[in-house]
Homo-oligomer: A and B are copies of this chain.
Amino acid sequence: MFKLNTCLVLFNENSIPLKSNFNDKQIQILEVAETLFAEKGFDGTSIRNIAKVAKINIAMVSYYFGSKERLLESLIVYRTSDLKNQLENLLLEDLEPIEKINKLIALYINRINSNRGIYRILHYEFTSKKREQNLQAFSELKKGNLKSLETIIEEGQKKGIFRKDVIIPLITPTILGTFFHFHMNKPFFENLLNLKTEDLYNNYIKTNLTKHIQQTIKALLIYES
């Protein structure tokens, strides 16, 4: 009588995303959900809320995704499926380690800033034990990203450019945490730094904030105390 189309990304044995076959209607729902989840949180957003904005019937969410929880899962898959590849391509480029780090930072910040919604959601919907099940795929992504960073830094250490007493897993928190904390306090910094328009705000992130993070990580990796 009816078909429940899960449409999740398929993974092979090496967990490389093969395809994410969401149809137009699903994508429409996903993008509305992304906006609302980011604005008001997962629990703060109701299905009726999503349906109204997306101009669909409330039953369509269950029909296309099964449940609200699985809508969130699908959203993560939809948004994180190609970051891995981008990072792996960066590794292969012919650049000095510090340049790779700078590019990695710029890539992270730009990517997160233009997919603001989903990363904000990831940043704090997945802390509670309740959602730890969904966390599996996300955890794999994070491990892969860390591996890429590790490769670059170890390369720099071998060349004698980077110091060896840094705790590599803590560098990601510094990069991403700086961005998130800035963005989480958007109204505060808009006011403090006179970033009256959305353009000014985004530009500040793309230039000053990115530069600050690059400067910080470079100093951390190179400075001899």
Distance in Å: Cβ of A202 to nearest Cβ of chain B: 16
Q: Is the CB of B167 within 8 A of A212?
A: yes
With A188-B142, A220-B220 known to touch, is A176 a contact of B181 (CB < 8 Å)?
yes
**A174, CB-defined interface residue at 8 Å:** yes
Distance in Å: Cβ of A121 to nearest Cβ of chain B: 11
**A86, CB-defined interface residue at 8 Å:** no
Stretch at the interface among A7-15, A23-31, A40-48, A49-57: A40-48
Q: Is the CB of A182 within 8 A of B170?
A: yes
Q: Is the CB of A180 within 8 A of B178?
A: no
Main secondary structure of the interface of A (DSSP, over half): helix
Q: Which residues of chain B are within 8 angstroms of A222 by Cβ–Cβ distance?
A: 219, 223
Q: Which residues of chain B are within 8 angstroms of A127 by Cβ–Cβ distance?
A: 120, 184-187
**A209, CB-defined interface residue at 8 Å:** yes
Within 8 A of B (CB), among A139-176: 139, 142-143, 146, 166-167, 169-170, 172-174, 176
With A177-B178, A188-B139 known to touch, is A223 a contact of B212 (CB < 8 Å)?
no
Q: Which of B132, B167, B174 contacts A208 (CB 8 A)?
A: B167
Distance in Å: Cβ of A11 to nearest Cβ of chain B: 19
Q: Is the CB of A185 within 8 A of B142?
A: yes
**A67, CB-defined interface residue at 8 Å:** no
Q: A142-B185, A173-B182, A222-B223 are in contact. List 4 more A-B contacts (CB 8 A).
A: A124-B184, A143-B192, A170-B208, A176-B181
